[in-house]
Amino acid sequence: RAKASPARGLSFYHAEMDAAERYRRRMKDDLRIALAEGQFHLDCQVQVDLRSGETCGHEMLLRWNHPERGPIPPAEFIPLAEESGLILPIGDWVLREACALAVANPQLGKVAVNLSAVQFSQPDLPRQVEHALASSGLPAERLELEITESMLMQDRSRTLPLLERIKALGVRVAMDDFGTGYSSLGTLRSFPFDKIKLDRSFMAELDTSPQAVGILRAVIGIGRALRIPVLAEGVETQSQLEHLRAEGCDEVQGYLFGRPIPVPGQERAPSEGGTMAA
């Protein structure tokens, strides 16, 4: 047939795309199994109040230990979970697990949970949050939800009421990764955030670029104007910390204070072989 010839030139290309596509499909199937078989867990990473030096909370980060491929980073599997829609039941599991861990471990303080844009497009989200709080018994003020600006850009007449319904539960909301993507002061001004998390890409530049110090100062000024704390993400070095202190940053999170780790005492026994974490 005449139509067959253009396709022939694409056949090599096709084979490669098939391999990538097969991998993605396989991983999506594996994600479904992972959720059903309990292969996920949450790590916690400490957040520190810079003035008092005390723990103010923990960010809860999703981890997947694939039975054959080992740990898969969230940056790799979350987009697949979003494409397949599985992020909804996974996100609900994350919320419930974070609340349950917080109740069982008062030393965690406030727990911060990341939301996906897909979750944020569900009108049902506030009810799910309410349910996770009620079934765990966690007081709402110990839960913080992290969202990124891009999630709010969609349609303000929808996202603002959604955010307000969540806030009405007494839950806090933090703007994650501030300074990346479509940052605008308008977003900060018109949505009721309780915290700004300055993206870790700024930390890398603090030691080398006076401009980065200026931006840090400006973001801290915005936090002051809005009367909300600014947390610096990805703090790795003492000299970054000194800049943050000098500029009056409120909170810090990063490898310098602690890497993400399983909640102490909650390490899962491996399903086969291995030793029990004592």
H/E stretch holding 104: helix 87-104
Q: Select from Mg ion, ligand C2E, none the partner in contact with residue 73, using the beta carbon and a kind-dependent cut-off of 5 to 8 Å.
A: ligand C2E
Residue 261 in the binding site for ligand C2E (CB under 6 A): no
To the nearest whole angstrom, how small is the minimum distance from the Cβ of residue 98 to ligand C2E?
A: 8
Identity of the residue, 30 or 97, whose beta carbon is nearer to Mg ion in the bound complex: 97
Verify binding: residue 149, Mg ion, rule CB under 5 A.
no
Cα–Cα dist 67/15, whole Å: 27
**Of 161, 143, 177, residue with least CA distance to 59:** 143
For residues 222 and 255, the answer to whether their CB atoms sit within 8 Å is no
Nearest residue (CB) to ligand C2E, 72 versus 188: 72
Q: How far is the CB of 115 from ligand C2E (least distance, A)?
A: 6
Please tell me the distance from the alpha carbon of residue 6 to that of residue 150, in angstroms, as a whole number.
39
Q: Which helix (H) or strand (E) holds 58?
A: strand 55-66
- HSE toward the beta carbon, residue 202, CA cutoff 13 A: 25
Question: In angstroms, rounded to a whole number, what is the distance separating the alpha carbons of residues 83 and 78?
Answer: 9
Residue (43 or 130) nearer to ligand C2E, CB: 43
252 contact, one of Mg ion, ligand C2E, none, CB 5-8 Å limit per kind = none
The interface region with ligand C2E, picked from 110-118, 125-133, 213-221, 266-274 by CB under 6 A, is 110-118
Q: What is the amino acid identity at position 2?
A: A
13 by Cβ neighbours in 10 Å (0-12 / 13-18 / 19+) ranks as exposed
Return the one option of Mg ion, ligand C2E, none that residue 58 interacts with (CB less than 5 to 8 A, by type). Answer: none
Report the site for ligand C2E in 165-224 (rule: CB under 6 A): 176-177, 200
Q: Which is nearer to Mg ion, 45 or 136 (by Cβ)?
A: 45
User: What is the C-alpha separation between 102 and 275, in angstroms, rounded?
Assistant: 26
Binding footprint of ligand C2E on the chain (CB under 6 A): 45, 61-62, 73-75, 78, 91, 94, 114-116, 146, 176-177, 200, 234-236, 254-255, 260
